[in-house]
Structure 1
Amino acid sequence: MATLNQIVAVVDDDESVCRAVKRLLRSVRIKAETFSSGEEFLGTLSSTASYLPACVVLDFQMPGINGLELQRRLAPTGVPVICITGHNDPAVREKALASGAAACLRKPFNNATLVKAVEIALGAAP
């Protein structure tokens, strides 16, 4: 289980996905904040010096800054990234994992699988 100060950032251009993931994580007592774009998330990172999530769940394909680019920009922070994608192409998953993603899940994903991936990324599960 995440500690109280750990926040998971959910970055997806689909508002319903953001709401669903936030609600799911909250149901297992993991605090989540949502962002509708990579730009919005990076803006918060740069404007709030103390803000650094413990994990980021991000959509691979978004307008503007896509998930792969956002993952690349987050790499120096060491924050674990979990990609979620609607793509069925194995190359998309391979690209995300090769770029350092902790996990890459295909939408629609199993809720328990996402929770487990987040817990592992937070260091709360083996």
Structure 2
Amino acid sequence: MANLNQIVAVVDDDGSICRAIRRLLRSVGIKAETFSSGEEFLGTLSSTASYRPACVILDVQMPGINGLELQRRLAPTGVPLIFITAHDDPAIREKALASGAVGYLRKPFNDAILVKAVEIALGATPIPIGPLTP
């Protein structure tokens, strides 16, 4: 189980996806906060000095700042990232994973696989299993 003080940020322009992931993570004892855009998430990061999620789950395709651009901007922080996408593109998957993403999951994703990816990102699983790309 993950440290209950850790927060996972979910960044997706689809509110139903955000709610579903938040409920799923809370059901296994992981606190999650949701953001409807990359801009909203970056705004919270810049305006709240103490806010630092332990992991970020983000959509690849969003209006404004997309997932890859958000990954680029978050790279200096070292926060683990997990991508979720409805439109899988092998070149984008390769770029995301090569740039350090912990996982890359296609929507609709398997709940158990997403939870496992988050646990790995949070350091709660002792045996790493490589990039998750079901």
User: Which deviations, in whole Å up to 9, do the C-alpha atoms of 1:22-71 show, x marking residues without a partner?
Assistant: 00000000000000000000000000000000000000000000000001
2:99 paired with 1:99:
yes
**2:33 aligns to what?**
33
Name the SS of the counterpart of 2:112 in structure 1: helix
> TM-score, normalising length from structure 2?
0.92
**1:76 aligns to what?**
76
Q: Distance in 2 between matches of 1:111 and 1:119?
A: 12
Q: Distance in 2 between matches of 1:12 and 1:88?
A: 15
**1:63 aligns to what?**
63
Aligned length: 126
Partner amino acid, structure 1, of 2:14:
D
Partner amino acid, structure 2, of 1:96:
A
2:96 paired with 1:123:
no
Structure 2 gaps, min length 5: 128-134
Q: Distance in 2 between matches of 1:40 and 1:54?
A: 17
% identity of equivalent residues: 83
Partner amino acid, structure 2, of 1:108:
P
Structure 1 residue runs of 4+, over 2 Å off?
none
**1:108 aligns to what?**
108
Partner amino acid, structure 2, of 1:89:
D
Partner amino acid, structure 2, of 1:11:
V
Aligned-pair distance for 1:110? 0.4
User: Which deviations, in whole Å up to 9, do the C-alpha atoms of 1:65-96 show, x marking residues without a partner?
Assistant: 00000011111001000000111322221121
Aligned-pair distance for 1:4? 1.9
Structure 1 gaps, min length 5: none
